[in-house]
Amino acid sequence: MSVEAKETVSAPVPIADLSKLAVPTLPSVTQQPPKSNSLWSSNPVFSYLNDVYITISEHRKNLGLINPGTIENLNKEVSRDVFLNQYFFTGLRADLNKAFSISPAFQTSHTLSIGSDLPPYAFSALYASEDLFFQGNICDDKSFSGRINYGWDKHNISKLTLQILERQPPMVQLEQDYQANDFSINLKTLNPSFLYGGFSGVAVASLLQSLTPKFALGLEAMYSMQPLSPPDTAVSYVARYNNNGKWIASAQLQAQGSLVASFWKKVSDKVEAGVETQIAATMKQVPDPLMGVGFEPVIEGTTTIGAKYEYRTAVFRGQLDSRGKISAFLEKRILPTVSVLFSGEIDQFKRSSRLGLGLQFEAAGNEQLMLMQQGLIDANGNPVPGAPAVL
């Protein structure tokens, strides 16, 4: 069982390739109906419920449903894979990554930056095995963020996220994932506390259920309770359609009246494209001759379109939104262990621009890893066809 690695942290984490080891494997086993015993067979009510359960289980099995993923990754193909929001940076940046082992994966990273919103120095460490994933980041201002994922079995994954920032309250998030054959359940709580005579914090529960092998529906409920404040609740509805990986469409109707819709398409083996539209309905104050102050509904929307190109030694991402902002990100490998990073953004309406330039170095902890980084041998130590012979 592999554990999903995904963590939102304050410091840049250039450890991207090894995090693929922490993607949870979806279960392939089918649900088994409850075993028949004297109680379920002799009692008329229990016997009827048992027959209904078996009928529903057999019907779901015949539909050929698959696990739809989680609501957190509803539109990850667009927002994380194609768009460059998580990769963009400004100023000068240098990353030094060092891998000590592959199975289990252990890697460290040092990041230096100048003239950007990133901290001047950040240290990151990653450890990933079949059932455990750990990632931690610490910056020069003593801020810390970390994430631990543990897979109990093929269905259950527990997650802990901790963030400590300077002059800000700490953040703790507890999360539990349950992934079945045709649905996913996620439970999470943010800064839970019972020190004020009851629960305080934020609790979120979500469910995503496959109705057909390609189409899934779900909902997400949020409950927030803060001391000396009334509780707040919200419910969002989501839908996702996956056409066998050729194109994926998703939509999320949030409780605040906003709608987020995205579309992703695999153009070719090397090209992916995506578009995302966000529409929000708000109330705006306007002068009123009778009441003095009135309100009128205002609908605002933003559409972003982007593309990702994968070349043999480079990856390019570009995007354009309806607010006149053009962004680009390029990662070019100039040597087997050295890559150049470039990011740029032009805001046409504000007449402003931002640029970022970085270098990424990869070092190996032993000779075998060094030969793998140079493309001379594979993960099993065998020579790569066409590569120079290893002396």
pLDDT in tens, 336-378: 889 999 999 999 888 899 999 999 998 876 655 666 655 655 5
- Mean residue pLDDT of the chain comes to 83
CA distance 50 to 249: 37
pLDDT at position 367, please?
Answer: 58
pLDDT at position 58, please?
Answer: 77
Three-class SS state of 41: helix
pLDDT at position 187, please?
Answer: 96
> What domains are defined for the chain?
18-27+67-373 (2.40.160.10)
Q: Give the mean pLDDT of 155-174.
A: 92
| Residue 334 CA from chain centroid, whole number | 29
pLDDT at position 284, please?
Answer: 76
Q: Lowest mean pLDDT: which of 251-255, 280-284, 337-341?
A: 280-284
Higher pLDDT, 168 or 172: 172
Q: Which of 193, 195, 184 is nearest to 157 (CA)?
A: 184
15-42 exposure pattern, b = at least 16 Cβ within 10 A, e = fewer: beebbebbebeeeeeeeeeeeeeeebee
CA distance 106 to 362: 13
pTM, 2 dp: 0.77
The percentage of residues in the chain with a pLDDT greater than 70, rounded to a whole number, is: 80
